[in-house]
Structure 1
């Protein structure tokens, strides 16, 4: 199952497979498919497996063979584990974190490295000679055809790297503005309208994916509850090829692998949060951890749940999902930049182009529409086409869509979802934008956190975070940059709200909290039941739940009361 998660294609098609296998790096004869290059760009090398990874691809890359149509050919592209699978380094040891955040990988930076390799090959006849020699017998292409392919794919990656992912400063490893990247790819790239592209200015890290299928809402801003459309949007933003021009071919024809996406989500339902490895990172002080448990229950648990969690009212077929606290941005005070993304802008400010006639009312035939309308039209069109081919039963479809009704009371924006605490030790840096390097720093008053720090590769088990010494990583995170603020989620002796989420802690209390967080999960293989346990803690009956206390923001207490998925909207 682990290998399937690593290498099952979601349909992304970054570049032809033969180029991935045989292309040299820009500044050497070493191939871009080598383990050395893989580690350089932050992906995790993986061994060959005759059945599950015969090509020896790194974690997060998958091969897809499109048998016919306008995208016919063998491609290599990203799967979700490229970003949602981590690895921590400590004293020469590597700790694999399945479903964790890859704090060393940047998809835009990877694309830039590939396009540099292509440009160098086009400029160097010897490099092109060696590429032709290695590909001989695998592809039937003349030298001129190979040049043309390198030029076309290179232009595609140029646009993806420098236009789709343009930013005012380098976000560094482990961060990208995913919401705007998806918006730019769909609304600017697929529509071929550069005017629709916006600057990416809200870097975030990839969320943890254990307990994601079990959660009522996902993404940092709690904007999706339906896995099919969430995952389809992500894959479209990660270079699925799709046709929106009826004059060029079949509408919505795509390289997407919807079956693979549903299977990936299904497998993640069985992923347990990682348990602290005492043999590698040191033994837990259980006495100190017990003090920390009390502090967490008193100061953190109203928002951040841990196993066995709080649960929603039942959706269709009585299925429940983890009800994470949805906290107003103005309350938690963390960086608000992602809510300025065009992806969340409800105004009809983006050109519709060739999609104008297929948009829903009131935008049908109009020149412009909101980003989400354009995105949803694409996603629903692709999903309808390829779901029909899967011929799912009603029960299979409900399972694939997390039993939602389509009338769910969505959390208002701007909000941030408070993630569960299980396995949080394995996911530095902290806050949604990776602006706080360690848990120790997160427990400080915000004004006392480091304004700049080295983003290290190695793990710091004492402070529970990344090495900031500069010995294992030289990229400097500057929290004064737009989108990178480390404000908010502060612990101070002030009234709660406006960025203050709890009282100030003493030095001893901070170490106690860190020690307790190391104990979560408290059992190996502690998989959260998909659909809810037999005797759930019902969130909307729990007086300690943040959204029960903070009235008038997000209230789903009446949702799904009869179990059919038709509840009231926010009061």
Structure 2
């Protein structure tokens, strides 16, 4: 006789509910595997037979577990049905903690909900002395049970999807707007919750270099725009702020200090932005004991009314996790504290890749360098990119830059991110170098052209288009730290880092010199040399002993006489706000201003003529 009690009956109901939920997943995985993979943000499965095979196994597993719906009649099946749920929780949690997408937490939560419920019910059902009753005759369960129970089970999953995984992509139709504000995938794993990002300058103003919020760090902010150029906003469960290429690859200039608004030039050198200062601001905020829900939530609600569920999400999940992630990132960048600061318009592009992404052993190298402009990429001689020519494929330059900015390979593999990067590349291919906006002395320019052809064109091209020539360090004589920071092992490891993807990297290499870069838009590339150690073109044509030992970076007021930016002032006033600039000391390691002695022995008249011609490149 089949005897059950109320706990065993509820155990059976939970078993059937689990079979229904997992059966739905299995059906979808069999029928629409690509859709399931995309919705759950899972890594691509090639060939698709494997996710379908997993779905088939899931079907077979639950056919075998059907006897467990009567736990007192089939106790061994009941126990065996609970164990995989518990092991599933551990398995999917470990998968998530090893760096896979948060979607794996859905599977862990699913197994935790059913496994824990079933384990408790099974324990209660099998206690000695539990009063048993005759099992009801076979027939339909009450109709409401079959309607309400699945809904109750699906609601938590829907809530998790809506508040953590739901995607609302923003597409900019104009290529220019996409370059300035479009996502390249950095929001998925590196994105900061928008409202936390928004209130940090209000809560921690003392951690910024001056008044004015993020503008004090030199970001370029267009009028009426919600975010600065180079900052992106995407909803992935909740609004997140990420970065794209334009955050560094943008220039701006003013013809005089009295001009209130600068002229913005896309694809430039980011000479006003202090990227390291931005990171250190975020790290300092996270290190402050006031980075708590009790402090941040009231500030958020001054500008945005959070719903009850959003408030709980920020209080118990987003604020603690954001702080934890920023502190972890701070620890991963601790090596920068022992090296010279980057300063405005500079980054260390490859040591973060070496130490953070490739996990190579820490060394003492210094990779600080100016941001390179992206003008006219299609017209550049193919075969060498970056300051030391360490990659020969422009497509890989775009992809690897996205990786360095915070888009891991599994995110870059998404079709939408692939399309976003393709649009970036198409935009910079056609992006022209800016024309010199001031008056050029045509007579001096004409005198300067043959001087340029005699002293510069063999390396940089007759029209400043550049060459693919790597000038040996012994010849160029400039500071070697940036070149030394990239190693043969790093090149090999980076090429292997994306193995298995159709677009995998493979063109990274090690070179022993610096690239003869294009000179298009040379007037707006200041400061000069790979590490930005010479403030103006006039200074670059002077012997090393006559070049400035220190100067200030980050100004946008143009110096037409010396061809560069004003560099003798420690601060600049923009839009009525005083912003401190970064002092550059050429005596620090990696900051040397030696080398590139071409043209330093020209007569003063010849130098003036050469400068006038180079304004026109």
- TM-score, normalisation: structure 1: 0.67
Q: Distance in 2 between matches of 1:156 and 1:273?
A: 39
Superposition map of 1:433-512 within 5 A: 433-457=531-555, 458-470=557-569, 471-472=571-572, 473-490=580-597, 501-502=598-599, 504-512=601-609
SS at match of 1:222: coil
Equivalent in the alignment of 2:519: 421
Equivalent in the alignment of 1:333: 477
C-alpha contact (below 8 Å) 2:554/2:581 kept by paired residues: yes
- CA offsets 1:396-438 (integer angstroms, 9 cap, x no match): xxxxx9xxxx7x8x98611211122221001100001010000
SS at match of 1:62: strand
From 95, 112, 119, the equivalent of 2:263 is: 95
Equivalent in the alignment of 1:3: 177
C-alpha contact (below 8 Å) 1:213/1:265 kept by paired residues: no
Unmatched tracts of structure 2, length 5 or more: 1-174, 573-579
Q: Distance in 2 between matches of 1:31 and 1:176?
A: 20
- CA offsets 1:462-481 (integer angstroms, 9 cap, x no match): 10112122153542111111
From 38, 45, 59, the equivalent of 2:229 is: 59
Q: Distance in 1 between matches of 2:355 and 2:397?
A: 16
SS at match of 2:184: coil
In the TM superposition, residue 8 of structure 1 has moved relative to its aligned partner by 1.8
Residues 176 and 142 (structure 1), Cα distance of their counterparts in 2 relative to 1, 3 Å cut: same
Unmatched tracts of structure 1, length 5 or more: 49-54, 67-71, 189-194, 244-250, 310-321, 347-369, 389-400, 491-500, 521-571
Superposition map of 1:94-133 within 5 A: 94-120=262-288, 121-122=290-291, 125-132=294-301
SS at match of 1:166: helix
Superposition map of 1:188-203 within 5 A: 188=359, 196-198=361-363, 201-203=366-368
C-alpha contact (below 8 Å) 2:197/2:241 kept by paired residues: no
C-alpha contact (below 8 Å) 2:531/2:591 kept by paired residues: yes
C-alpha contact (below 8 Å) 1:212/1:218 kept by paired residues: no
SS at match of 2:272: coil
- CA offsets 1:467-505 (integer angstroms, 9 cap, x no match): 122153542111111111101001xxxxxxxxxx34602
Q: Distance in 1 between matches of 2:395 and 2:425?
A: 9
Q: Distance in 2 between matches of 1:242 and 1:104?
A: 30
Residues 150 and 123 (structure 1), Cα distance of their counterparts in 2 relative to 1, 3 Å cut: closer
Q: Distance in 2 between matches of 1:159 and 1:256?
A: 29
Residues 449 and 28 (structure 1), Cα distance of their counterparts in 2 relative to 1, 3 Å cut: same
Residues 10 and 40 (structure 1), Cα distance of their counterparts in 2 relative to 1, 3 Å cut: same
SS at match of 1:90: coil
In the TM superposition, residue 239 of structure 1 has moved relative to its aligned partner by 1.8
C-alpha contact (below 8 Å) 2:378/2:430 kept by paired residues: no
Equivalent in the alignment of 2:456: 300
Q: Distance in 1 between matches of 2:448 and 2:413?
A: 54
Q: Distance in 2 between matches of 1:74 and 1:484?
A: 39
- CA offsets 1:106-157 (integer angstroms, 9 cap, x no match): 3232122233344554258344322255454468334585354333323333
- Is 1:375 the counterpart of 2:519? The answer is no
- CA offsets 1:355-403 (integer angstroms, 9 cap, x no match): xxxxxxxxxxxxxxx333332233344x43xx69xxxxxxxxxxxx9xx
C-alpha contact (below 8 Å) 2:202/2:213 kept by paired residues: no
Higher-RCO chain (CA-CA 8 Å, sequence separation at least 6): 1
C-alpha contact (below 8 Å) 1:233/1:379 kept by paired residues: no
Q: Distance in 2 between matches of 1:8 and 1:202?
A: 28
- Structure 1 window deviating more from structure 2 (428-437 vs 460-469): it is 460-469
- Is 1:146 the counterpart of 2:244? The answer is no
Q: Distance in 1 between matches of 2:305 and 2:462?
A: 55
C-alpha contact (below 8 Å) 2:207/2:281 kept by paired residues: no
Residues 443 and 134 (structure 1), Cα distance of their counterparts in 2 relative to 1, 3 Å cut: same
Equivalent in the alignment of 1:275: 435
Equivalent in the alignment of 2:108: none
- CA offsets 1:85-119 (integer angstroms, 9 cap, x no match): 11123313312222110112132321222333445
C-alpha contact (below 8 Å) 2:448/2:612 kept by paired residues: yes
Residues 147 and 35 (structure 1), Cα distance of their counterparts in 2 relative to 1, 3 Å cut: farther
In the TM superposition, residue 308 of structure 1 has moved relative to its aligned partner by 8.1
SS at match of 1:269: helix
Q: Distance in 2 between matches of 1:29 and 1:415?
A: 43
- CA offsets 1:174-229 (integer angstroms, 9 cap, x no match): 111101122223123xxxxxx74445622101101012344312101111222333
From 435, 438, 441, the equivalent of 1:285 is: 441
Residues 19 and 198 (structure 1), Cα distance of their counterparts in 2 relative to 1, 3 Å cut: farther
In the TM superposition, residue 172 of structure 1 has moved relative to its aligned partner by 1.4
Bigger CA radius of gyration: 2
SS at match of 1:230: helix
In the TM superposition, residue 21 of structure 1 has moved relative to its aligned partner by 5.6
SS at match of 2:424: helix
Q: Distance in 2 between matches of 1:378 and 1:135?
A: 41
Equivalent in the alignment of 1:539: none
C-alpha contact (below 8 Å) 2:467/2:517 kept by paired residues: no
More helix by share: 2
Equivalent in the alignment of 2:97: none
Equivalent in the alignment of 1:36: 212
In the TM superposition, residue 19 of structure 1 has moved relative to its aligned partner by 2.9
